[in-house]
C-alpha cells in the first residue's frame, strides 16, 4: 500500500507546542486561574496537567464533575471490542501482537465473526469496536469491510481500530457501515517513537499521526485519539493527545471526538522496556484535565484499569466504558479454547450485565445507543 500524504499543518503545530511545554514552570496562580474559567486556553490545559496541579486535585475533580453533568448528564456509554485477527506486520516492542512475539496467531473467518457478533449482541450492547492486528496481508480492507457489514446487522454503532489507511479506504469502510475510527499515536515523541517501532508501516510517524484526519476526509462520523501513557513523558503525551483532538475539532467541527487514556499493561512474553510509571492519581488528573479542556468530548476508560478506578472515574469525568472485554481472538463463542492469544492483560473482567448494574447503582444511566439512522422513507414517508 502506498502511504498517502495529506496537506495539513496540525502535526507540526502539535509537536511544536508539545516541545515547548515546560510543565514545571506552572505556579499556584496558573492553576487557580484555569479553575476560574469555563473555557480553557491551551496554557490553562497545560497548567492542569502540571505537577503543581496535583495539589489542587480535589478542586479539579469537583469542576470536572460539574462539567460532566452539564454536558453529558448522568449518561455512561457502553461498548465492547471484538478482536477478529492478531496477525501483525509491525514490531512494536511493547505490544503482545508484535510480529516478533511468539504467540498463537489466529484470524476469524466471516462465519466465525458473525457468530461472535450474535453472541455479543445478546448482552444488549448496541456499539461494537472491531479490532485487528496491523497486517494488510492477513486483514485486508475487503475483509475488514465485510466484518463491518456483518456488524451493522447487529449493532447500531460500529467502530474500527485497525492499521491506518488512505482516504479512499476509509471511504470504503464507511460505506460498509463503519462510523468511527480509533488510532493511538502511542507516543508523540518522534525520537522515542522510532526506538519503539522497529518494523512495518507503523514506523512512519507522520502517516499514523494524520490517520484521524484522513478518516474524517473519508466520511467517518467520529474519530478517537490516545497515547499509551508510560511509553514516554506522560504529561507531554497527554497534552499532545488533547491538543491534537482540539485542533482537529476546530478544523472539522461536525466530527465526534473521543479520547482514550490507556496505561501500559503486561503482555505475553513481556519484554521489559524503559517506561515511565503513571500512577492512578496521575491518570485521574489527566482524565479530569481532558474533561475541562474538551467538555463535549467522550472520554473512554479502558479495562486496563481496575474496577474501583473505573467505577469512580465515570462518576467524575469519563463518559464511556467498555464491558465484557477479552482481547483474544474468538473469545466470546469459544471461551474455553480461544483461537488466538491476547494483545495485553486486562484488569477488569466484569461482564456487560455486571457493569450495567454498577452504573445504575451509582445513579448513572447506562446508554447502549445514542445515534439513530434515518432512511429517506422515515423522513418523507413511503412512496
- State how far the Cα of 216 lies from the Cα of 223, in Å rounded to an integer: 7
| Radius of gyration from C-alpha coordinates of the chain | 20
pLDDT digits (tens, 9 = 90+) for 208-246: 999 999 999 999 999 999 999 999 999 999 999 999 999
pLDDT tens column, 40-72: 999 999 999 999 999 999 999 999 999 999 999
Least confident of 79-83, 139-143, 208-212, 301-305: 301-305
d(CA 193, CA 198): 9
Contacts of residue 212, defined as CB under 8 A and 6 or more positions apart, other chains included, come to: 181, 183, 223, 224, 225, 244, 248
Tell me the C-alpha to C-alpha distance, in Å, between residue 193 and each of 93, 116, 188, 203, 278: 11, 34, 7, 8, 18
pTM: 0.92
Contact 17, 10 (CB under 8 A): no
Model confidence band, residue 371 (pLDDT cutoffs 50, 70, 90): confident
- Domains in the chain: ranges and CATH: 42-369 (3.20.20.70)
Residues in the chain: 383
More confident residue, 277 or 47: 47
Q: How far apart are CA 19 and CA 172, in angstroms?
A: 36
Amino acid at each position: 500500500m502506498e502511504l498517502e500524504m495529506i496537506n495539513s499543518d496540525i502535526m507540526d503545530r502539535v509537536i511544536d507546542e508539545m516541545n515547548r511545554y515546560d510543565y514545571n514552570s506552572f505556579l499556584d496562580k496558573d492553576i487557580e486561574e484555569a479553575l476560574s474559567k469555563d473555557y480553557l486556553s491551551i496554557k490553562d490545559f497545560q497548567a492542569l496537567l502540571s505537577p503543581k496541579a496535583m495539589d489542587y486535585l480535589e478542586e479539579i475533580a469537583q469542576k470536572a464533575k460539574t462539567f460532566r453533568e452539564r454536558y453529558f448528564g448522568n449518561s455512561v456509554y457502553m461498548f465492547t471490542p471484538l478482536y477478529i485477527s492478531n496477525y501483525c506486520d509491525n514490531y512494536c516492542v511493547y505490544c503482545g501482537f508484535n510480529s516478533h512475539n511468539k504467540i498463537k496467531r489466529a484470524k476469524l473467518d466471516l462465519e466465525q465473526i458473525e457468530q461472535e457478533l450474535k453472541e455479543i449482541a445478546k448482552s444488549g450492547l448496541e456499539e461494537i469496536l472491531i479490532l485487528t492486528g496491523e497486517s494488510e496481508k492477513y486483514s485486508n480492507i475487503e475483509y475488514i469491510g465485510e466484518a463491518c457489514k456483518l456488524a451493522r446487522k447487529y449493532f447500531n454503532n460500529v467502530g474500527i481500530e485497525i492499521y491506518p489507511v488512505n482516504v479512499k479506504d476509509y471511504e470504503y469502510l464507511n460505506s460498509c457501515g463503519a462510523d468511527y475510527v480509533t488510532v493511538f499515536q502511542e507516543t508523540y515523541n518522534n525520537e522515542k517513537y522510532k526506538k519503539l517501532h522497529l518494523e512495518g508501516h507503523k514506523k512512519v510517524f507522520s502517516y499514523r499521526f494524520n490517520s484521524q484526519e484522513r478518516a474524517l476526509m473519508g466520511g467517518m462520523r467520529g474519530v478517537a485519539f490516545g497515547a499509551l501513557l508510560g511509553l514516554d513523558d506522560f504529561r507531554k503525551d497527554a497534552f499532545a493527545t488533547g491538543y491534537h483532538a482540539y485542533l482537529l475539532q476546530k478544523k472539522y467541527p461536525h466530527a465526534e471526538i473521543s479520547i482514550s487514556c490507556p496505561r501500559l499493561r503486561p503482555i505475553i512474553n513481556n519484554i521489559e522496556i524503559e517506561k515511565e510509571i503513571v500512577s492512578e492519581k496521575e491518570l485521574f488528573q489527566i482524565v479530569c484535565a481532558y474533561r475541562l479542556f474538551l467538555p463535549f468530548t467522550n472520554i473512554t476508560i479502558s479495562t486496563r484499569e481496575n474496577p474501583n478506578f473505573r467505577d469512580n472515574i465515570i462518576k467524575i469525568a469519563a463518559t464511556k466504558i467498555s464491558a465484557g472485554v477479552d482481547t483474544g481472538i474468538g473469545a466470546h463463542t469459544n471461551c474455553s479454547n480461544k483461537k488466538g492469544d491476547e494483545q495485553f492483560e486486562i484488569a477488569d473482567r466484569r461482564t456487560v450485565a455486571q457493569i450495567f448494574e454498577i452504573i445504575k447503582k451509582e445513579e448513572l444511566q447506562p446508554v447502549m445507543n445514542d445515534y439513530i439512522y434515518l432512511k429517506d422513507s422515515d423522513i418523507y414517508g413511503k412512496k
